[in-house]
Structure 1
Amino acid sequence: MRLVNDGRAFEQVSDAVDEVNKLKSQAQWDDRSKFDAEKDKNAFRQYEEACDRVKNFYREQHEKQTFEFNVRVRAEFKKTVHARMGIWEAMEKLNTLVDDSDPDTSLSQIEHLLQTAEAIRRDGKPEWMQVAGLVHDLGKLLYFFGSEGQWDVVGDTFVVGCKFSEKIIYPETFANNPDSRDPVYSTEYGVYSPHCGLENVMLSWGHDEYLYHVLKKQSSLPMDALYMIRYHSFYPWHREGAYSHLTNAEDQRALEAVRAFNPYDLYSKSDEPVDVEKVKPYYQSLIAKYFPDVIEW
Protein backbone atom coordinates (compact mmCIF):
# COMPACT_ATOMS: atom_id res chain seq x y z
CA MET A 1 0.00 0.00 0.00
CA ARG A 2 1.36 3.40 -0.93
CA LEU A 3 1.09 6.28 1.54
CA VAL A 4 0.54 9.74 0.11
CA ASN A 5 1.75 12.76 2.06
CA ASP A 6 -1.29 14.99 1.64
CA GLY A 7 -0.61 18.13 3.67
CA ARG A 8 -4.04 19.60 3.05
CA ALA A 9 -5.79 16.45 4.29
CA PHE A 10 -3.61 16.44 7.39
CA GLU A 11 -4.51 20.06 8.13
CA GLN A 12 -8.22 19.27 7.75
CA VAL A 13 -7.96 16.38 10.19
CA SER A 14 -5.94 18.52 12.60
CA ASP A 15 -8.54 21.31 12.44
CA ALA A 16 -11.32 18.80 13.08
CA VAL A 17 -9.49 17.43 16.13
CA ASP A 18 -8.97 20.97 17.47
CA GLU A 19 -12.68 21.70 17.06
CA VAL A 20 -13.66 18.49 18.89
CA ASN A 21 -11.27 19.32 21.72
CA LYS A 22 -12.73 22.81 21.95
CA LEU A 23 -16.27 21.43 22.19
CA LYS A 24 -15.16 18.88 24.81
CA SER A 25 -13.58 21.65 26.87
CA GLN A 26 -16.75 23.74 26.70
CA ALA A 27 -18.94 20.77 27.58
CA GLN A 28 -16.73 19.95 30.56
CA TRP A 29 -17.74 23.20 32.27
CA ASP A 30 -21.41 23.26 31.25
CA ASP A 31 -22.25 21.71 34.63
CA ARG A 32 -21.90 24.82 36.79
CA SER A 33 -21.46 24.92 40.55
CA LYS A 34 -24.52 23.96 42.59
CA PHE A 35 -23.35 24.44 46.20
CA ASP A 36 -23.64 28.23 45.91
CA ALA A 37 -27.15 28.37 44.40
CA GLU A 38 -28.74 29.88 47.51
CA LYS A 39 -25.91 32.26 48.38
CA ASP A 40 -26.10 36.03 48.11
CA LYS A 41 -23.29 36.68 45.63
CA ASN A 42 -23.45 40.41 46.25
CA ALA A 43 -22.18 39.89 49.79
CA PHE A 44 -18.70 38.95 48.53
CA ARG A 45 -15.79 41.12 47.34
CA GLN A 46 -17.30 44.32 48.71
CA TYR A 47 -14.07 46.26 48.61
CA GLU A 48 -15.62 49.70 48.94
CA GLU A 49 -16.91 48.62 52.35
CA ALA A 50 -13.72 46.79 53.31
CA CYS A 51 -11.84 47.54 56.52
CA ASP A 52 -8.68 49.63 56.61
CA ARG A 53 -6.56 46.48 56.78
CA VAL A 54 -7.68 45.52 53.28
CA LYS A 55 -7.47 49.01 51.80
CA ASN A 56 -4.01 49.63 53.21
CA PHE A 57 -2.84 46.30 51.84
CA TYR A 58 -3.88 47.12 48.30
CA ARG A 59 -2.40 50.59 48.46
CA GLU A 60 0.98 49.09 49.34
CA GLN A 61 0.68 46.30 46.77
CA HIS A 62 -0.19 48.69 43.96
CA GLU A 63 2.67 51.03 44.79
CA LYS A 64 5.35 48.34 45.01
CA GLN A 65 4.52 45.75 42.32
CA THR A 66 6.72 47.17 39.56
CA PHE A 67 8.03 45.45 36.46
CA GLU A 68 11.62 45.60 37.76
CA PHE A 69 10.59 44.07 41.08
CA ASN A 70 8.89 41.20 39.28
CA VAL A 71 11.93 40.48 37.12
CA ARG A 72 14.23 40.52 40.14
CA VAL A 73 12.11 38.38 42.47
CA ARG A 74 11.63 35.66 39.85
CA ALA A 75 15.37 35.47 39.26
CA GLU A 76 16.00 35.21 43.01
CA PHE A 77 13.48 32.41 43.55
CA LYS A 78 14.93 30.31 40.76
CA LYS A 79 18.23 30.15 42.63
CA THR A 80 17.09 28.69 45.96
CA VAL A 81 15.07 25.81 47.38
CA HIS A 82 13.47 27.43 50.43
CA ALA A 83 11.99 24.30 52.01
CA ARG A 84 11.34 20.62 51.41
CA MET A 85 8.00 19.30 52.64
CA GLY A 86 4.93 17.41 51.55
CA ILE A 87 1.57 18.95 50.63
CA TRP A 88 -0.21 18.28 53.94
CA GLU A 89 2.73 19.59 55.94
CA ALA A 90 2.67 22.73 53.82
CA MET A 91 -1.03 23.17 54.56
CA GLU A 92 -0.37 22.93 58.29
CA LYS A 93 2.47 25.45 58.06
CA LEU A 94 0.11 27.95 56.42
CA ASN A 95 -2.38 27.63 59.25
CA THR A 96 -0.95 30.64 61.10
CA LEU A 97 -1.49 33.06 58.21
CA VAL A 98 -4.56 35.30 57.83
CA ASP A 99 -4.77 36.96 54.40
CA ASP A 100 -4.78 40.78 54.80
CA SER A 101 -6.20 41.24 51.29
CA ASP A 102 -9.38 39.20 51.80
CA PRO A 103 -12.52 41.04 52.96
CA ASP A 104 -14.63 37.85 53.03
CA THR A 105 -12.96 35.70 55.68
CA SER A 106 -10.65 35.68 58.67
CA LEU A 107 -10.37 31.88 58.76
CA SER A 108 -6.99 30.20 58.77
CA GLN A 109 -5.63 29.01 55.45
CA ILE A 110 -6.14 25.29 56.03
CA GLU A 111 -9.83 25.92 56.76
CA HIS A 112 -10.24 27.87 53.53
CA LEU A 113 -8.44 25.20 51.49
CA LEU A 114 -10.65 22.46 52.90
CA GLN A 115 -13.82 24.52 52.43
CA THR A 116 -12.91 24.98 48.77
CA ALA A 117 -12.06 21.32 48.20
CA GLU A 118 -15.16 20.09 50.03
CA ALA A 119 -17.46 22.33 48.00
CA ILE A 120 -15.94 20.94 44.79
CA ARG A 121 -16.29 17.41 46.15
CA ARG A 122 -19.96 17.91 47.10
CA ASP A 123 -20.72 19.01 43.55
CA GLY A 124 -19.24 15.78 42.21
CA LYS A 125 -16.35 17.36 40.34
CA PRO A 126 -13.35 15.20 39.38
CA GLU A 127 -10.65 14.34 41.89
CA TRP A 128 -8.01 16.48 40.18
CA MET A 129 -10.26 19.54 40.60
CA GLN A 130 -10.78 18.72 44.28
CA VAL A 131 -7.00 18.62 44.59
CA ALA A 132 -6.69 21.98 42.82
CA GLY A 133 -9.06 23.40 45.42
CA LEU A 134 -7.09 21.82 48.22
CA VAL A 135 -3.74 23.29 47.18
CA HIS A 136 -4.63 26.47 45.27
CA ASP A 137 -3.38 28.86 47.98
CA LEU A 138 -0.28 26.95 49.07
CA GLY A 139 1.85 29.50 47.26
CA LYS A 140 1.24 31.72 50.29
CA LEU A 141 4.17 29.86 51.79
CA LEU A 142 6.07 32.72 50.15
CA TYR A 143 5.24 34.71 53.27
CA PHE A 144 7.65 32.49 55.21
CA PHE A 145 10.35 32.52 52.54
CA GLY A 146 11.69 36.02 52.90
CA SER A 147 8.83 38.01 51.41
CA GLU A 148 8.86 41.77 51.91
CA GLY A 149 5.33 41.68 53.32
CA GLN A 150 1.95 40.33 52.31
CA TRP A 151 1.89 42.71 49.32
CA ASP A 152 4.16 40.35 47.35
CA VAL A 153 2.25 37.22 48.40
CA VAL A 154 -1.53 37.72 48.34
CA GLY A 155 -4.20 39.88 46.72
CA ASP A 156 -5.68 40.17 43.24
CA THR A 157 -3.11 39.84 40.47
CA PHE A 158 -2.65 42.03 37.38
CA VAL A 159 -0.25 42.46 34.47
CA VAL A 160 2.96 44.43 35.04
CA GLY A 161 4.98 45.91 32.19
CA CYS A 162 2.05 47.71 30.58
CA LYS A 163 -0.63 50.21 31.59
CA PHE A 164 -2.45 49.29 34.79
CA SER A 165 -6.06 48.43 34.01
CA GLU A 166 -8.86 50.57 35.40
CA LYS A 167 -10.65 47.30 36.17
CA ILE A 168 -8.23 46.43 38.98
CA ILE A 169 -9.70 47.19 42.41
CA TYR A 170 -8.68 50.59 43.81
CA PRO A 171 -7.08 51.64 40.48
CA GLU A 172 -6.32 55.12 41.81
CA THR A 173 -3.73 53.66 44.19
CA PHE A 174 -1.37 52.99 41.27
CA ALA A 175 -0.58 56.71 41.15
CA ASN A 176 2.48 56.19 43.35
CA ASN A 177 3.78 53.23 41.35
CA PRO A 178 6.68 54.52 39.23
CA ASP A 179 5.60 52.29 36.31
CA SER A 180 2.47 54.43 35.92
CA ARG A 181 4.73 57.26 34.72
CA ASP A 182 7.24 55.19 32.74
CA PRO A 183 7.26 55.98 28.99
CA VAL A 184 7.05 52.26 28.12
CA TYR A 185 5.32 50.54 31.04
CA SER A 186 2.49 53.10 31.09
CA THR A 187 1.42 52.38 27.49
CA GLU A 188 -1.38 50.01 26.51
CA TYR A 189 0.93 47.21 25.32
CA GLY A 190 4.08 48.18 27.22
CA VAL A 191 6.75 45.52 26.67
CA TYR A 192 4.25 43.11 25.05
CA SER A 193 2.75 42.66 21.59
CA PRO A 194 -0.94 42.42 20.62
CA HIS A 195 -2.50 39.07 21.54
CA CYS A 196 0.81 37.58 22.65
CA GLY A 197 -1.01 35.30 25.13
CA LEU A 198 -1.01 35.23 28.92
CA GLU A 199 1.79 32.66 28.95
CA ASN A 200 4.00 35.45 27.60
CA VAL A 201 3.06 38.24 30.00
CA MET A 202 4.25 38.84 33.54
CA LEU A 203 1.61 38.85 36.27
CA SER A 204 2.24 40.57 39.57
CA TRP A 205 4.32 38.28 41.79
CA GLY A 206 2.48 36.35 44.45
CA HIS A 207 1.18 33.00 45.56
CA ASP A 208 -0.61 32.13 42.29
CA GLU A 209 2.40 32.60 40.06
CA TYR A 210 4.80 30.97 42.49
CA LEU A 211 2.69 27.84 43.08
CA TYR A 212 2.01 27.41 39.37
CA HIS A 213 5.71 27.18 38.61
CA VAL A 214 6.36 24.85 41.57
CA LEU A 215 3.60 22.39 40.67
CA LYS A 216 4.08 22.53 36.93
CA LYS A 217 7.34 20.69 37.53
CA GLN A 218 6.42 18.64 40.60
CA SER A 219 2.90 17.30 40.14
CA SER A 220 0.82 15.26 37.72
CA LEU A 221 -2.08 17.72 37.80
CA PRO A 222 -3.72 18.34 34.39
CA MET A 223 -3.27 21.69 32.68
CA ASP A 224 -6.77 22.86 33.61
CA ALA A 225 -5.86 22.50 37.29
CA LEU A 226 -2.68 24.51 36.72
CA TYR A 227 -4.74 27.23 35.01
CA MET A 228 -7.03 27.35 38.05
CA ILE A 229 -4.04 27.75 40.33
CA ARG A 230 -2.22 30.34 38.24
CA TYR A 231 -5.13 32.63 37.43
CA HIS A 232 -7.56 32.27 40.34
CA SER A 233 -6.64 35.72 41.74
CA PHE A 234 -6.50 37.35 38.29
CA TYR A 235 -9.92 38.95 38.78
CA PRO A 236 -9.37 41.85 36.36
CA TRP A 237 -9.22 39.23 33.60
CA HIS A 238 -11.56 36.39 34.54
CA ARG A 239 -14.24 38.56 36.18
CA GLU A 240 -13.92 42.03 34.63
CA GLY A 241 -12.79 41.16 31.09
CA ALA A 242 -9.58 43.21 31.13
CA TYR A 243 -6.48 42.47 29.02
CA SER A 244 -8.33 41.13 25.99
CA HIS A 245 -5.76 42.99 23.87
CA LEU A 246 -3.08 40.65 25.25
CA THR A 247 -4.91 37.30 25.26
CA ASN A 248 -5.03 34.81 22.40
CA ALA A 249 -7.16 31.83 21.41
CA GLU A 250 -5.27 29.50 23.74
CA ASP A 251 -6.34 31.57 26.74
CA GLN A 252 -10.02 30.74 26.22
CA ARG A 253 -9.58 27.26 27.68
CA ALA A 254 -7.85 28.75 30.71
CA LEU A 255 -10.64 31.29 31.14
CA GLU A 256 -13.33 28.59 31.13
CA ALA A 257 -11.42 26.54 33.70
CA VAL A 258 -10.82 29.48 36.04
CA ARG A 259 -14.43 30.65 35.84
CA ALA A 260 -15.58 27.13 36.69
CA PHE A 261 -13.24 27.09 39.70
CA ASN A 262 -13.88 30.60 41.00
CA PRO A 263 -17.24 30.01 42.77
CA TYR A 264 -15.69 27.31 44.93
CA ASP A 265 -12.80 29.54 45.96
CA LEU A 266 -14.93 32.61 46.60
CA TYR A 267 -18.33 31.48 47.86
CA SER A 268 -17.20 28.57 50.04
CA LYS A 269 -15.80 31.12 52.51
CA SER A 270 -19.21 31.39 54.17
CA ASP A 271 -19.55 27.63 54.65
CA GLU A 272 -19.24 25.94 58.01
CA PRO A 273 -15.66 25.10 59.02
CA VAL A 274 -14.54 21.61 58.01
CA ASP A 275 -13.60 18.90 60.53
CA VAL A 276 -9.96 18.58 59.55
CA GLU A 277 -9.28 15.18 61.14
CA LYS A 278 -12.41 13.69 59.59
CA VAL A 279 -11.50 14.55 56.00
CA LYS A 280 -7.71 14.26 56.34
CA PRO A 281 -7.45 10.58 55.27
CA TYR A 282 -9.49 11.23 52.13
CA TYR A 283 -7.38 14.15 51.01
CA GLN A 284 -4.12 12.48 51.89
CA SER A 285 -5.09 9.66 49.52
CA LEU A 286 -5.68 12.19 46.74
CA ILE A 287 -2.41 13.99 47.51
CA ALA A 288 -0.57 10.68 47.02
CA LYS A 289 -2.03 10.38 43.51
CA TYR A 290 -0.83 13.73 42.23
CA PHE A 291 2.29 14.69 44.18
CA PRO A 292 5.59 13.21 45.32
CA ASP A 293 6.09 12.73 49.06
CA VAL A 294 8.32 15.80 49.22
CA ILE A 295 7.98 19.04 47.25
CA GLU A 296 10.86 21.46 46.79
CA TRP A 297 9.50 24.91 47.60
Structure 2
Amino acid sequence: MTNTGIISLVLIVANIIFSYKGLKNHSFFDRYSFEVERILLYKEYKRLITSGFLHVSWRHLIFNMISLFAFSLTLETDLGSARYLIIYFGSLIGGNLLSLFIHRRHSDYSAVGASGAVCGVIFASIALYPGMALSFFGLFPIAGWLYGILFVLCAVYGIKSARDNIGHDAHLGGALAGLITAIIMVPDVLVYNYITIIAIAVPCIFFIYMIITRPHFLLIDNYFFKRHQVFVDIDDKYNYERANREKEMDAILDKIHKKGMNSLTKSEKEKLDRYSQQIN
Protein backbone atom coordinates (compact mmCIF):
# COMPACT_ATOMS: atom_id res chain seq x y z
CA MET A 1 0.00 0.00 0.00
CA THR A 2 1.29 3.47 -0.82
CA ASN A 3 1.34 6.18 1.80
CA THR A 4 -1.76 7.73 0.22
CA GLY A 5 -3.88 5.02 1.84
CA ILE A 6 -2.90 6.15 5.33
CA ILE A 7 -5.58 8.85 5.61
CA SER A 8 -8.36 6.33 4.95
CA LEU A 9 -7.08 4.07 7.70
CA VAL A 10 -6.65 7.00 10.09
CA LEU A 11 -10.29 7.97 9.55
CA ILE A 12 -11.40 4.40 10.20
CA VAL A 13 -9.35 4.20 13.39
CA ALA A 14 -10.66 7.60 14.52
CA ASN A 15 -14.23 6.42 13.98
CA ILE A 16 -13.59 3.29 16.01
CA ILE A 17 -11.95 5.17 18.90
CA PHE A 18 -14.53 7.95 19.18
CA SER A 19 -17.46 5.59 18.67
CA TYR A 20 -16.13 3.30 21.41
CA LYS A 21 -15.85 6.23 23.81
CA GLY A 22 -19.32 7.45 22.85
CA LEU A 23 -20.85 4.02 23.42
CA LYS A 24 -19.20 3.81 26.84
CA ASN A 25 -19.75 7.42 27.92
CA HIS A 26 -23.24 8.84 27.42
CA SER A 27 -22.21 12.41 28.28
CA PHE A 28 -19.43 12.26 25.66
CA PHE A 29 -21.96 10.99 23.12
CA ASP A 30 -24.39 13.83 23.92
CA ARG A 31 -21.63 16.45 23.80
CA TYR A 32 -20.65 15.67 20.20
CA SER A 33 -23.80 14.23 18.56
CA PHE A 34 -25.85 16.04 15.91
CA GLU A 35 -28.53 17.99 17.77
CA VAL A 36 -30.62 20.60 15.99
CA GLU A 37 -31.17 22.70 19.09
CA ARG A 38 -27.47 22.81 20.04
CA ILE A 39 -26.44 23.72 16.49
CA LEU A 40 -29.04 26.34 15.62
CA LEU A 41 -29.73 27.81 19.05
CA TYR A 42 -26.31 27.57 20.69
CA LYS A 43 -24.16 27.77 17.52
CA GLU A 44 -22.29 24.52 18.23
CA TYR A 45 -21.36 24.01 14.59
CA LYS A 46 -18.61 21.52 15.47
CA ARG A 47 -21.38 18.92 15.85
CA LEU A 48 -21.77 18.90 12.05
CA ILE A 49 -18.40 17.12 12.00
CA THR A 50 -18.04 15.44 15.40
CA SER A 51 -21.37 13.59 15.04
CA GLY A 52 -19.86 11.81 12.03
CA PHE A 53 -17.39 10.00 14.29
CA LEU A 54 -20.05 8.57 16.62
CA HIS A 55 -22.29 5.54 16.07
CA VAL A 56 -25.30 4.11 17.90
CA SER A 57 -24.01 0.52 17.95
CA TRP A 58 -21.12 -1.70 16.94
CA ARG A 59 -23.19 -3.04 14.05
CA HIS A 60 -23.78 0.51 12.80
CA LEU A 61 -20.04 1.26 13.09
CA ILE A 62 -18.84 -1.96 11.46
CA PHE A 63 -21.21 -1.63 8.50
CA ASN A 64 -20.03 1.93 7.83
CA MET A 65 -16.34 1.12 8.23
CA ILE A 66 -16.48 -1.94 5.94
CA SER A 67 -18.17 0.16 3.28
CA LEU A 68 -15.66 2.96 3.74
CA PHE A 69 -12.70 0.59 3.52
CA ALA A 70 -14.07 -1.06 0.38
CA PHE A 71 -14.32 2.23 -1.53
CA SER A 72 -11.84 4.65 0.01
CA LEU A 73 -8.38 3.22 -0.62
CA THR A 74 -8.54 3.33 -4.42
CA LEU A 75 -10.16 6.76 -4.30
CA GLU A 76 -7.46 8.18 -2.06
CA THR A 77 -4.65 6.56 -4.04
CA ASP A 78 -5.86 8.02 -7.33
CA LEU A 79 -6.95 11.47 -6.17
CA GLY A 80 -4.44 12.04 -3.40
CA SER A 81 -5.02 12.55 0.29
CA ALA A 82 -6.04 16.22 0.08
CA ARG A 83 -8.79 15.75 -2.50
CA TYR A 84 -9.95 12.56 -0.78
CA LEU A 85 -10.36 14.52 2.48
CA ILE A 86 -12.34 17.19 0.63
CA ILE A 87 -14.74 14.50 -0.61
CA TYR A 88 -14.98 12.85 2.82
CA PHE A 89 -15.60 15.94 4.93
CA GLY A 90 -17.55 17.72 2.18
CA SER A 91 -19.93 14.75 2.10
CA LEU A 92 -20.12 14.57 5.89
CA ILE A 93 -20.95 18.27 6.23
CA GLY A 94 -23.22 18.28 3.16
CA GLY A 95 -25.25 15.38 4.52
CA ASN A 96 -25.60 16.97 7.94
CA LEU A 97 -26.58 20.33 6.43
CA LEU A 98 -29.38 18.62 4.53
CA SER A 99 -30.49 16.92 7.73
CA LEU A 100 -30.29 20.24 9.57
CA PHE A 101 -32.47 21.89 6.93
CA ILE A 102 -35.04 19.08 6.98
CA HIS A 103 -35.24 19.08 10.80
CA ARG A 104 -34.68 22.81 11.35
CA ARG A 105 -37.98 23.08 13.24
CA HIS A 106 -37.58 19.87 15.23
CA SER A 107 -35.51 21.16 18.12
CA ASP A 108 -35.06 17.80 19.86
CA TYR A 109 -33.97 15.87 16.76
CA SER A 110 -30.55 14.23 17.07
CA ALA A 111 -28.50 11.81 14.97
CA VAL A 112 -25.01 10.35 14.60
CA GLY A 113 -23.01 8.34 12.10
CA ALA A 114 -20.39 8.53 9.36
CA SER A 115 -22.96 7.45 6.78
CA GLY A 116 -23.06 10.81 4.99
CA ALA A 117 -19.30 10.75 4.48
CA VAL A 118 -19.33 7.06 3.52
CA CYS A 119 -22.11 7.62 0.97
CA GLY A 120 -20.13 10.50 -0.50
CA VAL A 121 -17.06 8.30 -0.89
CA ILE A 122 -19.17 5.52 -2.44
CA PHE A 123 -20.87 7.79 -4.97
CA ALA A 124 -17.60 9.54 -5.84
CA SER A 125 -16.01 6.13 -6.48
CA ILE A 126 -18.93 4.98 -8.63
CA ALA A 127 -18.69 8.17 -10.71
CA LEU A 128 -14.93 7.81 -11.24
CA TYR A 129 -14.74 4.01 -11.70
CA PRO A 130 -17.80 2.85 -13.67
CA GLY A 131 -16.61 -0.75 -13.96
CA MET A 132 -15.72 -1.26 -10.31
CA ALA A 133 -17.05 -4.28 -8.47
CA LEU A 134 -16.95 -5.34 -4.84
CA SER A 135 -16.47 -8.74 -3.29
CA PHE A 136 -16.59 -8.92 0.49
CA PHE A 137 -14.25 -11.62 1.76
CA GLY A 138 -14.29 -13.18 -1.70
CA LEU A 139 -18.05 -13.77 -1.53
CA PHE A 140 -21.12 -12.12 -3.07
CA PRO A 141 -19.54 -10.03 -5.84
CA ILE A 142 -21.61 -6.95 -6.62
CA ALA A 143 -21.25 -4.06 -9.06
CA GLY A 144 -20.27 -0.78 -7.42
CA TRP A 145 -23.17 1.16 -8.95
CA LEU A 146 -25.67 -1.43 -7.68
CA TYR A 147 -24.19 -1.22 -4.19
CA GLY A 148 -24.64 2.56 -4.33
CA ILE A 149 -28.31 2.30 -5.34
CA LEU A 150 -28.96 -0.25 -2.59
CA PHE A 151 -27.31 2.14 -0.13
CA VAL A 152 -29.73 4.90 -1.18
CA LEU A 153 -32.73 2.58 -0.88
CA CYS A 154 -31.62 1.54 2.60
CA ALA A 155 -31.37 5.23 3.53
CA VAL A 156 -34.89 5.89 2.25
CA TYR A 157 -36.23 2.91 4.17
CA GLY A 158 -34.39 4.16 7.25
CA ILE A 159 -36.00 7.58 6.91
CA LYS A 160 -39.43 5.96 6.67
CA SER A 161 -39.20 3.41 9.45
CA ALA A 162 -36.16 4.08 11.64
CA ARG A 163 -36.46 3.55 15.37
CA ASP A 164 -33.01 4.89 16.20
CA ASN A 165 -31.04 8.11 15.90
CA ILE A 166 -28.99 7.21 12.84
CA GLY A 167 -28.86 10.12 10.40
CA HIS A 168 -30.56 8.35 7.51
CA ASP A 169 -31.47 11.52 5.61
CA ALA A 170 -27.81 12.57 5.79
CA HIS A 171 -27.06 9.53 3.58
CA LEU A 172 -28.73 11.21 0.63
CA GLY A 173 -27.15 14.62 1.15
CA GLY A 174 -23.71 13.07 1.61
CA ALA A 175 -24.09 10.88 -1.48
CA LEU A 176 -25.03 13.82 -3.67
CA ALA A 177 -22.27 16.02 -2.21
CA GLY A 178 -19.65 13.33 -2.87
CA LEU A 179 -20.90 12.78 -6.41
CA ILE A 180 -20.85 16.49 -7.27
CA THR A 181 -17.41 16.99 -5.69
CA ALA A 182 -15.93 14.10 -7.70
CA ILE A 183 -17.39 15.49 -10.94
CA ILE A 184 -15.91 18.92 -10.19
CA MET A 185 -12.52 17.34 -9.54
CA VAL A 186 -12.60 15.10 -12.62
CA PRO A 187 -15.12 16.63 -15.09
CA ASP A 188 -14.16 14.12 -17.82
CA VAL A 189 -16.27 11.50 -16.04
CA LEU A 190 -19.36 13.21 -17.47
CA VAL A 191 -18.21 12.05 -20.91
CA TYR A 192 -17.33 8.41 -20.29
CA ASN A 193 -19.58 7.58 -17.33
CA TYR A 194 -22.67 9.75 -17.72
CA ILE A 195 -25.08 6.80 -17.79
CA THR A 196 -23.97 5.50 -14.39
CA ILE A 197 -23.91 9.01 -12.94
CA ILE A 198 -27.47 9.65 -14.10
CA ALA A 199 -28.58 6.25 -12.80
CA ILE A 200 -27.38 6.99 -9.26
CA ALA A 201 -27.99 10.76 -9.20
CA VAL A 202 -31.62 10.83 -10.35
CA PRO A 203 -33.11 8.65 -7.56
CA CYS A 204 -30.97 10.47 -4.99
CA ILE A 205 -32.20 13.89 -6.16
CA PHE A 206 -35.79 12.61 -6.41
CA PHE A 207 -35.89 11.39 -2.81
CA ILE A 208 -34.24 14.56 -1.51
CA TYR A 209 -36.92 16.54 -3.36
CA MET A 210 -39.66 14.38 -1.87
CA ILE A 211 -38.28 14.73 1.65
CA ILE A 212 -38.16 18.52 1.35
CA THR A 213 -41.44 19.13 -0.46
CA ARG A 214 -43.58 16.18 0.68
CA PRO A 215 -42.01 14.93 3.93
CA HIS A 216 -45.02 12.90 5.07
CA PHE A 217 -44.77 10.75 1.95
CA LEU A 218 -41.62 9.20 3.43
CA LEU A 219 -41.75 10.18 7.09
CA ILE A 220 -45.26 9.09 7.97
CA ASP A 221 -44.10 5.92 9.73
CA ASN A 222 -40.92 7.34 11.21
CA TYR A 223 -40.67 6.60 14.92
CA PHE A 224 -39.35 10.08 15.64
CA PHE A 225 -42.39 11.70 14.07
CA LYS A 226 -44.77 9.28 15.80
CA ARG A 227 -43.39 10.44 19.15
CA HIS A 228 -43.50 14.13 18.16
CA GLN A 229 -46.94 14.92 16.80
CA VAL A 230 -46.59 18.53 17.95
CA PHE A 231 -43.23 20.03 17.01
CA VAL A 232 -41.34 22.70 18.89
CA ASP A 233 -40.17 25.48 16.59
CA ILE A 234 -36.59 26.63 17.16
CA ASP A 235 -37.70 30.26 17.34
CA ASP A 236 -40.44 29.37 19.81
CA LYS A 237 -37.90 27.46 21.87
CA TYR A 238 -35.56 30.46 21.93
CA ASN A 239 -38.34 32.89 22.87
CA TYR A 240 -39.60 30.53 25.56
CA GLU A 241 -36.16 30.20 27.15
CA ARG A 242 -35.51 33.93 26.91
CA ALA A 243 -38.84 34.68 28.58
CA ASN A 244 -37.95 32.29 31.40
CA ARG A 245 -34.54 33.93 31.88
CA GLU A 246 -36.10 37.39 31.95
CA LYS A 247 -38.65 36.19 34.49
CA GLU A 248 -35.85 34.81 36.68
CA MET A 249 -33.91 38.07 36.40
CA ASP A 250 -36.95 40.11 37.34
CA ALA A 251 -37.40 37.98 40.45
CA ILE A 252 -33.71 38.35 41.40
CA LEU A 253 -33.70 42.13 40.84
CA ASP A 254 -36.88 42.45 42.87
CA LYS A 255 -35.25 40.49 45.68
CA ILE A 256 -32.19 42.77 45.59
CA HIS A 257 -34.45 45.84 45.74
CA LYS A 258 -36.30 44.52 48.77
CA LYS A 259 -33.57 42.69 50.72
CA GLY A 260 -30.22 43.70 49.25
CA MET A 261 -27.43 41.80 47.44
CA ASN A 262 -26.51 39.73 50.50
CA SER A 263 -29.92 38.05 50.39
CA LEU A 264 -29.10 36.27 47.11
CA THR A 265 -28.19 32.60 47.12
CA LYS A 266 -25.06 31.33 45.38
CA SER A 267 -27.15 30.07 42.46
CA GLU A 268 -28.91 33.43 42.10
CA LYS A 269 -25.60 35.28 42.11
CA GLU A 270 -24.26 33.00 39.36
CA LYS A 271 -27.37 33.64 37.25
CA LEU A 272 -27.00 37.38 37.76
CA ASP A 273 -23.33 37.22 36.69
CA ARG A 274 -24.19 35.26 33.55
CA TYR A 275 -26.95 37.71 32.68
CA SER A 276 -24.61 40.68 33.22
CA GLN A 277 -22.01 39.12 30.89
CA GLN A 278 -24.61 38.54 28.18
CA ILE A 279 -25.79 42.16 28.07
CA ASN A 280 -22.26 43.64 28.22
Q: Is TM-score (shorter-chain normalized) higher than 0.5?
A: no
User: Normalised by the size of structure 1, how large is the TM-score?
Assistant: 0.26
Greater gyration radius: 2
Judging by fraction of residues, say which structure has more helix. Answer: 2
